[in-house]
Structure 1
Amino acid sequence: MNNPLALIIDDEPDILELLDMTLGRMNISTRSATSLGQALELLNQQHFDLCLTDMRLPDGDGLSVVRHIQQHCPNTPVAMITAYGSLDTAITALKSGAFDFVTKPVDLQRLRELVNGALRLNQRQEAPLIEESDDPIQGSSPPIQQLRRQIAKLARSEAPLYISGESGSGKELVARRIHALGPRACHPFVPVNCGAIPSELMESEFFGHRKGSFTGAVADKPGLFQAASGGTLFLDEVADLPLAMQVKLLRAIQEKAVRPVGTQQEQPVNVRLLCATHKDLAVEVAEGRFRQDLFYRINVIELCVPPLRERREDIAPMARRILTQLAQRAGVEVPHIDPACMERLSNYRFPGNVRELENILERAFTLCEGDTIMASDIQLNASPLPGEDSALRQIDSLEDFLDDIERKALTQALEETRWNKTAAARRLGLTFRSMRYRLKKLGLED
Structure 2
Amino acid sequence: MNKTNASILVIDDQEDILFASKLLLKKYFESIYTINNPANMIDILKENSINVVLLDMNYRIGFEDGKEGLRLLKEIKTISPTTVVILMTSFGKIETAVKGLKSGAFDYILKPWTNEELLDIVKQAVHKSRKGIKKTNSKKNTTDYFLSNSEVMKKAYSLADKVAKTDANVLILGENGTGKFVLSHYIHCQSERGNNPFIHVDLGSLNSNIFESELFGYAKGAFTDAKSDTAGRFEMAQTGTIFLDEIGNVPLHLQAKLLQVIQTKTVTRLGESTARPLDVRIITATNLELQQEVEDKNFREDLYYRINTMEITLPPLRDREEDKIPLAHYLLNKMLTKYNKDAITFDEKALDQIKIHAWKGNIREMENRIERAVIICENNLINSSDLDLEKITKIENTDIQLSAVEKTAIEKILAKNNNNILKTAEELGLSRAALYRRFEKYNISTK
Q: Which TM-score band (shorter chain)?
A: 0.5 to 0.7
What residue in structure 1 maps to residue 157 of structure 2? 148
Matching residue's letter, 2:286:
T
The partner residue of 2:332 within 313, 323, 326 is 323
Give unpaired runs (5+ residues) of structure 2.
Answer: 1-137, 419-447
What residue in structure 2 maps to residue 33 of structure 1? none
Query: Helix, strand or coil: the match of 2:172?
Result: strand
Query: Helix, strand or coil: the match of 1:162?
Result: strand
What residue in structure 1 maps to residue 372 of structure 2? 363
Q: Give TM-score, length-normalised by structure 2.
A: 0.58
The partner residue of 1:254 within 253, 263, 281 is 263
* CA spacing shift, 1:249–1:405, aligned 2, 3 Å: closer
Deviation at 1:135, TM superposition (A): 4.0
How do 1:211-360 residues align onto structure 2 when only pairs under 5 Å count?
211-360=220-369
Partner Cα distance (1:291, 1:219) in 2:
34
Q: Give TM-score, length-normalised by structure 1.
A: 0.58
What residue in structure 2 maps to residue 208 of structure 1? 217
Structure 1: 4+ residue segments shifted above 3 A: 128-131, 389-395, 404-414
* CA spacing shift, 1:230–1:362, aligned 2, 3 Å: same
Partner Cα distance (2:290, 2:384) in 1:
38
**Identity over aligned residues, as a percent?**
34
Matching residue's letter, 1:224:
R
Q: Is the contact between residue 135 and residue 177 of structure 1 (CA under 8 Å) also seen in structure 2?
A: no
Question: Between Structure 1 and Structure 2, whose CA radius of gyration is higher?
Answer: 1
* CA spacing shift, 1:391–1:367, aligned 2, 3 Å: closer
Partner Cα distance (2:358, 2:324) in 1:
11
What residue in structure 1 maps to residue 30 of structure 2? none
Q: Tell me whether 1:382 sits opposite 2:379 in the alignment.
A: no
* CA spacing shift, 1:250–1:375, aligned 2, 3 Å: same
Query: Helix, strand or coil: the match of 1:316?
Result: helix
Query: Helix, strand or coil: the match of 2:218?
Result: coil
* CA spacing shift, 1:413–1:166, aligned 2, 3 Å: closer
Q: Is the contact between residue 351 and residue 384 of structure 1 (CA under 8 Å) also seen in structure 2?
A: no
What residue in structure 1 maps to residue 203 of structure 2? 194
Partner Cα distance (2:412, 2:276) in 1:
60
Deviation at 1:317, TM superposition (A): 1.8
Partner Cα distance (2:170, 2:204) in 1:
19
Matching residue's letter, 1:328:
T
Partner Cα distance (1:341, 1:277) in 2:
32
Partner Cα distance (2:410, 2:166) in 1:
53
* CA spacing shift, 1:371–1:411, aligned 2, 3 Å: same
The partner residue of 1:181 within 190, 213, 219 is 190
- After superposition, the C-alpha distances for 1:26-74 in whole angstroms (9 at most, x for unaligned) are xxxxxxxxxxxxxxxxxxxxxxxxxxxxxxxxxxxxxxxxxxxxxxxxx
Partner Cα distance (2:259, 2:407) in 1:
44
* CA spacing shift, 1:229–1:384, aligned 2, 3 Å: farther
Partner Cα distance (2:316, 2:413) in 1:
38
Partner Cα distance (2:409, 2:164) in 1:
54
Query: Helix, strand or coil: the match of 1:382?
Result: helix
Q: Is the contact between residue 359 and residue 365 of structure 2 (CA under 8 Å) also seen in structure 1?
A: yes
How do 1:387-426 residues align onto structure 2 when only pairs under 5 Å count?
none
Give unpaired runs (5+ residues) of structure 1.
Answer: 1-127, 396-400, 418-446
- After superposition, the C-alpha distances for 1:388-425 in whole angstroms (9 at most, x for unaligned) are x8776679xxxxx89x97688557866x79xxxxxxxx
Partner Cα distance (1:374, 1:265) in 2:
61
* CA spacing shift, 1:390–1:163, aligned 2, 3 Å: farther
- After superposition, the C-alpha distances for 1:199-218 in whole angstroms (9 at most, x for unaligned) are 11111111111100111111
Q: Is the contact between residue 137 and residue 173 of structure 1 (CA under 8 Å) also seen in structure 2?
A: no
Matching residue's letter, 1:169:
T
Deviation at 1:334, TM superposition (A): 2.1
Matching residue's letter, 2:231:
P
Partner Cα distance (1:298, 1:134) in 2:
26
Partner Cα distance (1:304, 1:371) in 2:
37
Partner Cα distance (1:300, 1:222) in 2:
27
Q: Is the contact between residue 189 and residue 234 of structure 1 (CA under 8 Å) also seen in structure 2?
A: yes
* CA spacing shift, 1:281–1:392, aligned 2, 3 Å: closer
Deviation at 1:248, TM superposition (A): 0.7
Deviation at 1:162, TM superposition (A): 0.3
Partner Cα distance (1:270, 1:331) in 2:
40
Deviation at 1:176, TM superposition (A): 0.3
* CA spacing shift, 1:227–1:374, aligned 2, 3 Å: same
Partner Cα distance (2:413, 2:241) in 1:
53
Deviation at 1:313, TM superposition (A): 1.6
Matching residue's letter, 1:376:
S
- How many residue pairs align between the two structures? 280
Partner Cα distance (2:224, 2:234) in 1:
22
